């Protein structure tokens, strides 16, 4: 019997998928290799374990968002290419951080105001909500990292205070090289990577 045919018959035999004639065709092979019966029994047991361990269906993380985001993508696909707000937002999509929310201890969306007030009780009119339109979102995949975003109304800058980062050592900063300004960076093609 040709190898291809043998492989086909054995595969279908494992699946109980042989006709009476095909079973007769396989009988000489089974007779000469009785261990095949044991192999089959072991495989059926393995298949059961496989089905128990490997899920047939897994709902993607944030399933509602999956659908709504997909709708945005679909609509964007049918838009004119150079839309003002299309800058990589959809076609170079990367929302990997979404499912890092689960293990993160703190994900902070913060609207904060006024730094450096001398008195907490004063009805100081310099307290004001600053830059509410530029809401920022911070995520960390590390459970020990927490963040706080602070907007400094006086100097119009933003500070992100991060707690829980591992300290760095001299060797990390390659101290022997000294600290000099210069061009050092590079680019990764988002579309290819993502």
Partner 1 sequence: MNFLRSIASNLLKGPLPGDAGGEGAPAEISDAELVDRCKEGDYGAFDLLVTKHRGRVYAMIQNMVKNEADSWDLAQEVFVKVWKALPRFESRARFSTWMYRITHNAVYDWMRKRKMDVAGDLDDNLLDREAIAAGAHATPARVSRPDEALSQGEVRANIENALEKLSPEHREAILLREVQGLEYKEIADIMDCSLGTVMSRLFYARKKLQTLLINI
Partner 2 sequence: MRILALIHLALMAVAGAQDPGKEVIGKVRTEVLFGTNGSPESLRDGVVPLREEEVAKLKKVAKLEPYKTFVRLGSVEQDILKGYKSWAQPINGSQALMLTFQPQASIKESRKLRLDVEYWQKSKMTLRWDRVFEVGKRVYLIGPRWRDGNLIVTVELINLKSK
Which residues contact partner 2 by CB under 8 A? 84-89, 92, 94, 97, 100, 115-116, 133-142, 145, 147, 150, 152, 155-162, 165-170, 172-191, 193
Distance CA 190, CA 94 (A): 9
Residue (29 or 91) nearer to partner 2, CB: 91
Residue (102 or 160) nearer to partner 2, CB: 160
Residue 186 binds partner 1 (CB under 8 A): yes
Strands 146-152 and 157-163: antiparallel
**C-alpha 107, offset from chain centre:** 16
| Residue partners of 79: CB distance under 8 A and separation at least 6 | 86
Written as six digits, the tokens of 30 are 């089974």
Binding residue for partner 1 (CB under 8 A) from 99, 144, 160, 163? 99
| CB contact at 8 A, 158 and 151 | yes
Shortest distance in whole angstroms from residue 163 CB to partner 1: 12
Considering only the stretches 20-28, 48-56, 81-89, 168-176, report the one whose residues sit in contact with partner 1 under the rule CB under 8 A.
Answer: 48-56
Considering only the stretches 21-29, 81-89, 134-142, 166-174, report the one whose residues sit in contact with partner 1 under the rule CB under 8 A.
Answer: 134-142
Distance CA 73, CA 64 (A): 14
């Amino acid at each position: 019997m040709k190898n291809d045919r043998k492989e086909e018959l054995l595969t279908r035999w494992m699946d109980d998928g042989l006709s009476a004639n095909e079973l007769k065709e396989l009988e000489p092979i089974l007779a000469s290799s009785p261990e095949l019966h044991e192999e089959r029994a072991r495989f059926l047991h393995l298949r059961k374990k496989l089905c128990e361990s490997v899920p047939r269906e897994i709902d993607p993380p944030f399933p509602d968002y999956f659908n709504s985001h997909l709708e945005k993508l679909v609509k964007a696909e049918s838009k004119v290419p150079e839309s003002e707000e299309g800058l990589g937002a959809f076609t170079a999509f990367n929302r990997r951080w979404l499912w890092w929310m689960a293990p993160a201890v703190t994900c902070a969306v913060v609207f904060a105001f006024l730094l450096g007030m001398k008195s907490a009780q004063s009805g100081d009119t310099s307290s004001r909500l600053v830059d509410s339109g530029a809401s920022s979102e911070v995520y960390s995949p590390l459970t020990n990292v927490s963040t706080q975003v602070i907007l400094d109304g006086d100097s119009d800058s933003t500070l992100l205070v991060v707690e829980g980062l591992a300290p760095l050592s001299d060797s990390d900063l390659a101290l022997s090289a000294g600290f000099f300004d210069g061009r050092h960076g590079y680019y990764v093609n988002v579309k290819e990577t993502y």
